[in-house]
Amino acid sequence: MTWSCLRSLRFRCLTSKVGVFILLLCVTGICVFWRAETPSYQPPREERHCACDRCLRENGTLFLQRFDKFDEPFLSANHNLSEEAFNWWSRLRSNNPTFSSYIEVVKKIFQKFPKTPELEPPSPDRCRTCALVGNSANLNGSHYGPLIDFQDFVIRINNAPMKGYEKDVGTRTTHHVMYPESSVNLDDTTHLLLFAFKMRDLVWITKYINSGIRRGRTFNTDLMSIVNPAFIKFVHQVWLKKKGYYPSTGFLALILTLHLCDEVHLFGFGADSEGQWRHYWEELRNKLFKTGVHAGNVEFAMIKELSQNQIIKYYGGY
């Protein structure tokens, strides 16, 4: 092969490489331009009810079938309790009240009481975590105290003590569930959730509002909400299918907490390791005592079902 032929072949190869290089530059430039001018596709974001990893309204039909049936868990000036619901409620601890007397007592309450209790709806911008602390002896030795205090809201029930049990039950309280016979002193920042099981409970609160103190108890009435008697009937009939005479305070508090919170952590519910239904601060004298007029086994079965469906986070103790 002559020298001129070799030079011609080399020139053609070089030209080919330059062409390929220019082509690659063009393709790269087009791709960069395309990516800069064309927004990347993003699938539509799922609308969330809260900022938690899981929200109550997104956790299946078991909860939704019950939750969406009741809109007014608290009494208000415009509560419009039906006479049918009143008749059911008045038989719980009967002292033969009349519907008209009930209307009159509630009217007196709302002369000095906020007409509409605060009930914040869920928001995609926040996650309201709640610890509902029951009184079961299965709390003893649990060391749940720090986990309980970590939640946004800490809801306690009746006259359960904290002093001496802090490592197991925590130290914070934002909301306190009670009725007159189980009432305790509350500080000025704690919300009172008053459960009225009878007419005398409503009369008790009217006297408290007028006098500022009743039976030696103090609490901030500006932070008080009164559970609607119709809500008690709703829980008994819809959640418990009329099992038991009426729901326990603890189970009512649980269903109420599902209305208030986005994520519910449940502590201190159920029997202890020996199968006894007793409080964590006392020994049970009657070893055969179960749950009285309440359907404890049915309530606890519902708690386990809610837990298994990841609607609540249940902590059973040790």
Model pLDDT, residue 210: 75
Over residues 280-307, the mean pLDDT reads 77
- pLDDT tens-digit readout, 255-277: 999 988 989 999 999 877 777 77
CATH class held by domain 59-315: alpha beta
pLDDT band, residue 119 (cuts 50/70/90): low
**Taking the complete model, does pTM exceed 0.75, yes or no?**
yes
Q: Examine the pLDDT at 197 and tell me if it is beyond 80.
A: yes
- pLDDT tens-digit readout, 14-40: 445 444 444 444 445 444 444 444 444
DSSP assignment of the chain, as one string? --HHHHHHHHHHHHHHHHHHHHHHHHHHHHHHHHHHHSPPP-PPPPP-SSSSSS-GGGS-HHHHHHHTT-S--B--TT----HHHHHHHHTTT-----HHHHHHHHHHHHHHS-SS---PPP-TT---EEEEE--BGGGTT---HHHHHHSSEEEEETT---TT-HHHH-S--SEEEE-GGG-----TTPEEEE---SHHHHHHHHHHHHHS-BTTB---GGGEEEB-HHHHHHIIIIISTT-SSS--HHHHHHHHHHHH-SEEEEES-S--TTS---BTTS--S-TT---TTS-HHHHHHHHHHHHHTTSSEEE---
- pLDDT tens-digit readout, 56-110: 766 554 555 665 667 889 988 877 789 999 999 998 877 778 999 999 999 888 8
Model pLDDT, residue 174: 95
Q: Which residues are catalytic?
A: 246, 294
Over residues 5-12, the mean pLDDT reads 42
The half-sphere exposure of 302 on its side-chain side, counting CA atoms within 13 A, is 21
Over residues 155-168, the mean pLDDT reads 95
- Written as one letter, the residue type at 7 is R
Domain locations along the chain: 59-315
Model pLDDT, residue 16: 53
